[in-house]
Every structure is written in C-alpha cells, then in structure tokens.
Amino acid sequence: MASVHERLYRFCPTCKTKLKRKLIDRRRLLFCSNCSFTFWNNPKPVTIVILHDNGKILLLQRANKPLKNFWCLPGGYIDYEETPEEAIRRETKEEVGFDVGIESLVGVYRIDNDPRGVNIDIIYEAELKGKILLSEEHHNYNLFAIEELPAKIAYKHREAINDWLKNKEQGKQKFIP
C-alpha cells in the first residue's frame, strides 16, 4: 500500500513505458513490462548534525515550505557520489558556513513526517567551532539550552537530541575513527 507521502512514478524512467503493478517480494510494486525496471521507492538517506557548544544545541529555523518556521538541526540529502560523512561536511559548510569535525554517531532514524517523502536520517554530533553564516534555506538560528528547546522542532530531531543527551550521560557515544 502506498503511504500518504509516497510519490510514485507513472512511467518508466528508462524506456517511458507506463508502469503497472506487479507482485514482487510480496509487495505490489510498479514494474515496467518492457525493460523490467522496478520502482522500489526506497527511503532517501539524509545526514544531520547536532552541533553543540557547552551543552547548548544549534537549531536553524526553516525559511521555506514545507515545515516553514519549524526549527531543525543542520543537514541534508546525500549526493550520489558522497559518503555520509562527506555529505554532512558539505551540508554544514553550506548551511552554517564552517568546516565541521564529526565526533560520533548519535543514531539512525526513520523520518515519516516530511511531506516530501520518507527519509532515513543519519545523525552525527560535533562541537560547534566557527562563526555561523546562514544560507537562504534558514532565516534564523539560535543556540538553545536543553531546557529551553522550542516546541516546533521538525522531523524527529527532538528524539535525536534526547538520545544524544542520554548517550552523553551514560558515556555511550559511538565514536567515529
């Protein structure tokens, strides 16, 4: 069954034949009878970073739809040729203006509340070291103390922040060599 957020191809991206449903691996997937292309519609991987400074966390406020004015952690989609760590370094540079040194992995989250589709967020942490220069994707930023975090945090970034805190308290950070 297609979820509400699922965006489907109607035509084969390879040969332009109209796609039809076919039972594959017990799922009724869109399939091209001409060239055998199968539209798996897998979730998209995204890299995100919790940038912290003396226990405070950097959040950016979204300037555009969807989720306009919601607060979120910096990050974005992985480009085709990138590793996740290369992606988060590029995204941090683009969105907050400095080079980041990734320290550890906080967790991996399935994000099903983004109207653009289902994402898998790979969430890292790093120390905030640099002067913040926002891109036009965000119109505001703030370093929040944990007890002052805003209510409107997009995606599952609040959950990741809670996990980050818990990991830190228990000394359970998964360090990246």
Q: Which residues bind Zn ion (CB under 5 A)?
A: 12, 14-15, 17, 32, 34-35, 37
Q: Which is nearer to Zn ion, 33 or 83 (CB)?
A: 33
Between 11 and 98, CB nearer to Zn ion: 11
Instruction: For the CB of residue 2, give the shortest distance to Zn ion in the complex, in Å.
Output: 20
C-beta of 15 vs 176, nearer to Zn ion: 15
Q: Give the residue with the Cβ less far from Zn ion, 12 or 78.
A: 12
Beta carbon of residue 36, minimum distance to Zn ion (angstroms, whole number): 7
Report in angstroms how near the CB of residue 11 gets to Zn ion at its nearest.
8
Q: Is 162 helix (H, G, I), strand (E, B) or coil?
A: helix
**Strand bridging mode 44-53 / 119-127:** parallel
In terms of DSSP bridges, do strands 104-111 and 119-127 run parallel, antiparallel, or are they unpaired?
antiparallel
CA 75 to chain centre: 6
Token pair belonging to 114: 């983004």
Tally of CB atoms within 10 A around 36: 11
Please report, for the chain, how many H helices and E strands are present, in that order.
2, 11
Please state the closest distance from residue 35 (CB atom) to Zn ion, in A: 3
SS3 state of residue 61 = strand
Residue 173 in tokens:
């950070």
Closest distance of CB 19 from Zn ion, Å: 8
Whole-angstrom distance, CA of residue 84 vs CA of residue 119: 14
CB closer to Zn ion out of 22 and 93: 22
